[in-house]
Structures are given as structure tokens and as C-alpha cells.
Structure 1
Amino acid sequence: MMVSNIERKEFISPSYKKKLSPKKMILRIFLYTFLIIHSIVVLFPVVWTIGSSLNPGNSLYSSTMFPKNPTFIHYKELFTKTDYPIWYMNTLKIAFMNMILSVILTSFTAYVLSRFKFKGKKLTLMTILVLQVFPSFLTLTAIYVLLMQLNLLNTHIGLVLFYAGAQIPGNTWVVKGYLDQIPRSLDEAARVDGASNFTTFTKIIMPLAKPIIVFLALTSFTGPWMDFIFQRLVLRTADKKTLAVGLLEMVTGQANTKFTTFAAGAILVAIPIVIIFTFIQKYIIEGLSAGAVKS
């Protein structure tokens, strides 16, 4: 049966009838233009670095974005002619240890501040908030002396302890704000069933807080992975060096001009971060406690 034009219009969704106003159209064009420009600005250095790592010789200069005769020799030289594998494993070990320690310390601290009332709680929160104002590198002298007194200079444990302690203030506020949104009725129900505070934390709160815990683990991992200043200050011997310290020495001084090898090493540095983002991005966008409280 044929449908008349009038009947057809009744089936058309209102969203299709509505046309964008000139103001919204201009705003949309501006937004897309901004996103395109921002993407180009972000991706250009990455593409240029990849092209440089494939460039023959030691010079970063090339007449084209990608060299006409690309080569992977610089990636091979990283593992055959330098201590890059040692630097990579050292950095991976420090980042992983810091991730585990930071997640444990920060999650427990945030849980206590979120769920318990005690004397001095407000002062503690204000102190943590104030500590975020001061950048951690202001404490380098004090930390250096402290590590020297504890015989932790030129050790990876000293770096891990510093990173984990320095990340507690900022991360605690983030995790606490997340835990505050979890219904307290879950804690009360667990106590009625005889669960201890530790059981409530590990069996109920932690599974619901998986997105923020994953985010915390990611930031705790990337911190030491990208740091340079403190690693340069603490680490002394070649077998203890990390990626940041080792790569810098490739391009500092008159004799060190391995810029293309440096570019290849910089590309490989990004691989673990990309892999981690690929596997955990679904947890970051998960809901906080959907379906946790049944009606």
C-alpha cells in the first residue's frame, strides 16, 4: 500500500527535520578545524621521528618526511652496539615496581580518608592538598642527602621509594574523590554480614573502583618511564642507567652524534605505553558501580 507524503512526514525523526542554526554550524566548523590542527601538531613530531629513525647515517636532516632509502640498521645497532637492552629492562623494572607500590599505598590511603572519620582528618587532607602545590624536584637536594644516608644512591630501590612517595598526595585526592561516589550502603551491608574492613576493601570496594585503579596504575607506570632529572641525579654506573639517561648520552658531547639511533630508541620507548593503553582503555571508560546496588 502506498503511503502519502503527509503520512511519510509523520515517520521522519525530529532530528532530521531540525537544521543546524548558522551559529551552531560555525561552532561545529571551528571545533573540527581545531581538532584537525591539534592532531597535526601532535602527530607531526611522531611521524618526523619515525622518518628520522629510518634515515641512513647519523643526521636527522632529510629532504622528505620519510627517507628515500629507509633502513632499520639503527634499530639493530641499539641492541648490538649499545647498552639499550640494559637501559630498557632497568626502566621497565623501576616503572613496574613503582606501579605496584604506588597502587597499594595510594589505594589504602584514599580508602581510609574516604571511609573513616578520625581526629586530624581535615588537617591531613589540607596537608596533602598543599603538598601538590610544590613540584617534587624542589626536594631533590633533601632526597639526595636522605638516600646517601640510607646507602640507596645508585640503586633502583631508592628511585622507586622516591617516586611512590612523591605520587601519594596527588593520586590520593583523585582516588578518594572516586571512592566517595561508591555508596556507603555497600560497606554497611558487608559489616552486617561480618566482613572486616580489609575484606570490604578488597572484595567490594576494589572491584567497583577498577577504572580509577587502572588509571592510577597507568600514571604510576608512566611517571618513572618518562622521568629524567631524578634518574640523572641518583644513578651513576652504566649497569644502573635508564632509558632517559642512556639516550641523552648518545647526543651529548662532541663525539656523540648518533641522532638517528637516538630517534630509533625514542620510538621504542613509546611501545609499552601504547600497549598498555590498548589493553586497559575499556576499564577507564567503565561505569563506577553500575548494578552494584540492587533495587
Structure 2
Amino acid sequence: MSSSTHTPLSEIPARRPVTAGAWFRATGWRHLIGIVMVVFSVFPLLYVLSASLNPNGTLIGSNALFSRLGFDSYVALFQSSQQPYAAWFVNTLVIGLTTAVGTVLLGALAAYTFSRMRFTGRRFGLMSLLVVQIFPQLLAVVAIFLLLTTLGDIFPALGLDNQLALIMVYLGGALGVNTYLMYGFFNTVPPAIDEAAKIDGAGHARIFFTIILRLVAPILAVVGLLSFIATTNEFVIASVVLVSPEKQTLAVGLYQFVSQEFTSNWSVFAAGAVLAALPVMALFLFLQKYIVGGLTAGSVK
């Protein structure tokens, strides 16, 4: 027979009660930091939403959140003939989506070339892309203005006050950093996949469009989202290139509501900002599965 020993209950040490100080030192401070960050992030959004629903037309009157509610500012956005908000909204979507798609396609093609092909000047080209991004595109505003003025005399579609010219400027400014970002992600894809496809008779174009793009979908989603956000929020270059009110973007057009000293209407401006955030939210929710998939890829074999 096997004998078993039992520890008397009197010898089992009593569990020490958890005090508030011990809980705070262990995990409580994390909850406190999380609450502070949530408040820091959510409060500006609630303030702008409250200002858009406040018919007073001032930000000072919105200090008491949601004290007055009304949709007059949203109605006023689409009633002004001198400030065509609907046209600005459509222009922003067209320019933003076109720039995002073009940035993803051109950046992916360049990143695949640098990652998979070996040619003279490859390392110099990568370093040039990295060095060029040190200087912000804002420094080239004067050069962009003079360039588009000259091109407009030869090709009117690429001159000032043309949305196609603005899209080209955005594509040139974002191509370098996005190419370098995609290049690092393309290097994580095993070259054995390309070699197996070449044995089956596939060329570079078929490998790129049918195999590689599906494997690097997370980085494509991130680059597309960041490009769309940067394009919709850009103000300086868009204000220089686009002159006609009906061709302007939301960032430039909404500034007219608060640019005049005695006719500023912050409530209408806030309402326009709330509606302008909806496409970004919709695109983020649509691409969320690709972004999350990229973060968790490779965590489980």
C-alpha cells in the first residue's frame, strides 16, 4: 500500500490580503495610464463633435459638451453656393483614392525590383530614395509652382488648377519613403517562392501580380491607408496648385469658414471636419483585416 502524506491545515500559510497600494504597484498604474490616454485621445473628438452640433458658431460656446444640439451646421454646409462642400468632398475622395492606388502600385513595383533583381546602381538607387526623403516636400513648394506653371503652357492637364497635376505631385513625394518601406517587407518573402514559380514557367510579371502581391497585402494596406490620410489632410501644396473653389479639397475649402476675421463659423467648420473623417474611418475598417493579419502573420507555425 502506498502511503500519502497530508499537510495539516494549520501549517498552510494564510493568504495575505491584497492592499490597494500593492494592487496599484502591480497593475493599477497601467490602468491609470490607459485611462489617461483614452481621455487624451477621445476628448478632442468629442469636443469637435459637440462644436458641430452647437448652433452658436463658436468654439467657446462648446465648452459645455453637448449643452445644445442641432443639425443647423450640417445643413448650412450644403446650402452655400460660394463654398461647395459637396464638390470638395468628391474632389478629396477622387484625389485621395487615386493617389493611394497609384502610390501602392508604383511603390510595390519599385520595391519588387529592388528586392528581387540585381542591376548596376541598385544600392545607389536605394540610398538616393532614402536621402531624398530627408528633405520634406514642403521645401519644394516654389519649385513645384514654377514647374507646373511651365508645364501648363505645354500640357494644360499638368498645369496649375488641375487635379491631375496635384495627384502627380503627391505621387512623386510619397514614392520614395513608401518604396523603402515596402522594400523591407518584400525581403521577408522567401525567394524560393519566386524560384519555384520560375520553374513552372512564370515570368516576373505573373509572379508579381499573382503571388507576391497576395503575400505582401498587409504592407499594401498600410501604405494605401497612410497615403490616403496624408493626401486628405494636406493643405499647403493643395492650396498652391488648386485655385478654383470648385476644384479644391476639403482641407483647403474648410479653411474658408474660419479664415475671415469677422465671419468665422467654427460650428460649420467642425461639422465639415466630422464628415471629412468618415471616409478615413470607413477605409480603416475596410483594411483592418489586412492590417491585423500582417501583425499576427508568422506568430503561430
Identify the residue that residue 221 of structure 2 maps to in structure 1: 214
Q: 1:27, CA displacement in angstroms?
A: 6.1
Paired with 1:25 and 1:147, the residues of 2 have a C-alpha distance of: 60
Identify the residue that residue 62 of structure 1 maps to in structure 2: 61
Q: 1:285, CA displacement in angstroms?
A: 1.6
Counterpart mapping for 1:10-89 below 5 A: 26=25, 28-62=27-61, 65-81=64-80, 82-89=83-90
Q: Which runs of 5+ in 1 are unaligned?
A: 7-18
Specify the code of the residue in structure 1 equivalent to 2:233: M
Q: 1:79, CA displacement in angstroms?
A: 1.2
1:106–1:172 CA contact under 8 A, matched in 2: yes
**If the length of structure 2 is used for normalisation, what is the TM-score?**
0.85
Specify the code of the residue in structure 2 equivalent to 1:95: G
- How many residue pairs match? The answer is 275
**If the length of structure 1 is used for normalisation, what is the TM-score?**
0.87
Q: 1:63, CA displacement in angstroms?
A: 6.6
Q: Which runs of 5+ in 2 are unaligned?
A: 7-17, 153-158
Q: In 2 relative to 1, CA 110–80 (structure 1 residues): closer, same or farther, beyond 3 Å?
A: same
Q: 1:288, CA displacement in angstroms?
A: 8.2
Residue aligned with 2:170, SS:
helix
Paired with 1:289 and 1:180, the residues of 2 have a C-alpha distance of: 18
Specify the code of the residue in structure 2 equivalent to 1:203: T
Q: 1:176, CA displacement in angstroms?
A: 0.8
Identify the residue that residue 102 of structure 1 maps to in structure 2: 103
Paired with 2:107 and 2:270, the residues of 1 have a C-alpha distance of: 35
Residue aligned with 1:163, SS:
helix
Q: 1:131, CA displacement in angstroms?
A: 1.3
* Superimposed CA distance per residue, residues 160-197 of structure 1 (whole angstroms, 9 cap, x where no aligned partner): 00111110111111111111000110000000000000
Specify the code of the residue in structure 2 equivalent to 1:222: I
Q: Which is further off, 251-260 or 180-189? A: 251-260
Identify the residue that residue 240 of structure 2 maps to in structure 1: 233
Paired with 2:26 and 2:263, the residues of 1 have a C-alpha distance of: 50
Counterpart mapping for 1:170-185 below 5 A: 170-185=177-192
**Displaced runs of 4 or more, over 6 A:** 22-25, 288-291
| Aligned with 2:208 (options 201, 206, 213) | 201
Residue aligned with 1:134, SS:
coil
Identify the residue that residue 141 of structure 1 maps to in structure 2: 142
Q: In 2 relative to 1, CA 118–25 (structure 1 residues): closer, same or farther, beyond 3 Å?
A: farther
Q: 1:67, CA displacement in angstroms?
A: 3.6
Identify the residue that residue 254 of structure 1 maps to in structure 2: 261
Q: In 2 relative to 1, CA 27–111 (structure 1 residues): closer, same or farther, beyond 3 Å?
A: farther
| Aligned with 1:271 (options 278, 296, 301) | 278
Paired with 1:203 and 1:127, the residues of 2 have a C-alpha distance of: 30
Residue aligned with 2:178, SS:
helix
Q: In 2 relative to 1, CA 187–267 (structure 1 residues): closer, same or farther, beyond 3 Å?
A: same
Q: In 2 relative to 1, CA 24–195 (structure 1 residues): closer, same or farther, beyond 3 Å?
A: farther
Paired with 2:63 and 2:135, the residues of 1 have a C-alpha distance of: 44
Structure 2 residue 156 is the aligned partner of structure 1 residue 157 = no
1:50–1:263 CA contact under 8 A, matched in 2: yes
* Superimposed CA distance per residue, residues 224-275 of structure 1 (whole angstroms, 9 cap, x where no aligned partner): 1010010111111111111111111111122421111111111111101111
Specify the code of the residue in structure 2 equivalent to 1:188: E
Q: 1:62, CA displacement in angstroms?
A: 2.8
Residue aligned with 2:243, SS:
coil
1:249–1:256 CA contact under 8 A, matched in 2: no
Identify the residue that residue 9 of structure 2 maps to in structure 1: none
Paired with 2:263 and 2:26, the residues of 1 have a C-alpha distance of: 50
Paired with 1:226 and 1:117, the residues of 2 have a C-alpha distance of: 38
Specify the code of the residue in structure 2 equivalent to 1:36: I
Paired with 2:233 and 2:274, the residues of 1 have a C-alpha distance of: 13
